[in-house]
Amino acid sequence: MSIEQNVVCCCPDEDHISGCMVCGQELFCTPDKPLRATCFYCRQEKVTHVFCLAGHYVCDQCHSKDILDIVELKCNESELTDPLELLLDIFALPTLHMHGPEYHSIVPAVLVTAYGNSVGKKDQAAIKEAISRGKAIFGGICGTHGTCGACIGIGIAYSIIHRVTPYSIEERGAANHMTALALTAISRFGGPRCCKRDSTIAVTTARKHFGCFTGTGKSRYVCSQYVDNDMCIESKCPYYPRNSSRESS
């Protein structure tokens, strides 16, 4: 099955922050067999589980385009040693979408950056590698593969920091353990997914267990963007304004 995109959008040049990037409508996910669809922007045909009810499809590369360049620049320029504080700075970027595969790169990037700043050894190549590895985690993986890209991002960061390979012994186990800790923390809140909630939980988990950040750890996330998320779980979320004192990990 494929998606035919004969829909004429009234404002195709507008980049919507929430919902469909093209028209802002609600996104639909196929729970079983994926579909073939043509990206609205680059016109490449790919396989996807996610598209909007108007028939638009945007590939991961186009969804993350430009924002990850900004994230890399921000990480390279940052002197923050608290990864959550850096994550919140990135959340404030006006062109960052509410959800998307870009978060799979953002999580490891902020962790690697804060680590480098904490030990006094900024490593721009490591930041670039963190973003690159995160790009390999496709959008919607949290609904199709029983894992979350933000949690895998913790494993990516730990693996880069400790130079883990498939042949590593203790560190390979530790990298998997860090990912598992984040997945356990995220699983407590069920769904629907929220990339900001899950990324914050993942980074908070890493900040607690990596044992290498010199930041104060006093930064807290109080969500101000829930109004843009029509699937917000509201009072069930630890970062919903009324619940901001609750711990997530």
pLDDT for 139-154, tens place per residue? 888 888 999 999 999 9
Name the strand (E) or helix (H) holding 28. strand 27-29
Report the distance separating Cα 245 and Cα 169, nearest Å: 38
The closest of 64, 54, 144, 59 to 102, measured between CA atoms, is 64
Helix, strand and coil content of the chain, in percent to the nearest 5, comes to 45, 5, 50
pLDDT higher than threshold 60 for residue 11 = no
pLDDT higher than threshold 60 for residue 7 = no
Our CA dihedral for 110, 114, 116, 117, rounded to 10 degrees, sits at: 140
What does each C-alpha distance from 131 to 39, 136, 183, 197 come to in angstroms?
22, 9, 20, 19
Total-model pTM? 0.79
Question: Which tokens in the block code for residue 212?
Answer: 């290498």
Mean pLDDT value of segment 85-107: 93
What does each C-alpha distance from 36 to 31, 33, 39, 57 come to in angstroms?
14, 10, 10, 10
Q: Which pLDDT does position 246 carry in this prediction?
A: 53
Q: Which pLDDT does position 41 carry in this prediction?
A: 75
Q: Which pLDDT does position 245 carry in this prediction?
A: 56
The closest of 68, 35, 71, 66 to 52, measured between CA atoms, is 35
Q: Which pLDDT does position 51 carry in this prediction?
A: 76
Mean of the per-residue pLDDT values of the chain? 87
Mean pLDDT value of segment 46-60: 81
Report the distance separating Cα 133 and Cα 153, nearest Å: 8
What does each C-alpha distance from 5 to 8, 9, 52 come to in angstroms?
8, 10, 11
